[in-house]
Amino acid sequence: AQTVTQSQPEMSVQEAETVTLSCTYDTSESNYYLFWYKQPPSRQMILVIRQEAYKQQNATENRFSVNFQKAAKSFSLKISDSQLGDTAMYFCAFRAGNDMRFGAGTRLTVKP
**Degrees, nearest 5: CA angle 27-53-102:** 55
- As measured in angstroms, the least distance from the Cβ of 88 to other proteins is 13
Query: For other proteins, what does the binding mask look like between residues 76 and 105, x meaning CB under 8 A?
Result: ---------------x-x-x--x-xxxxxx
Rounded to an integer, what distance in angstroms lies between the CA atom of residue 59 and that of residue 50? 7
Q: Which is nearer to other proteins, 33 or 64 (CB)?
A: 33
Q: Is 56 in the site for other proteins (CB under 8 A)?
A: no
- As measured in angstroms, the least distance from the Cβ of 90 to other proteins is 12
For residues 23 and 92, is the Cβ–Cβ distance under 8 A? yes
Q: Is 46 in the site for other proteins (CB under 8 A)?
A: yes
Longest dimension (CA), the chain: 42
Classify strands 10-14 and 106-111 as parallel, antiparallel or unpaired. parallel
CB count in 10 Å sphere of residue 37: 19
Q: Is 70 in the site for other proteins (CB under 8 A)?
A: no
Among 2, 20, 50, 74, contact with other proteins (rule: CB under 8 A)? 50
Among 29, 45, 81, 83, contact with other proteins (rule: CB under 8 A)? 45
Classify strands 99-102 and 88-96 as parallel, antiparallel or unpaired. antiparallel
- Chain residues binding other proteins by CB under 8 A are 4, 9, 32-33, 42-47, 50, 52, 91, 93, 95, 98, 100-105
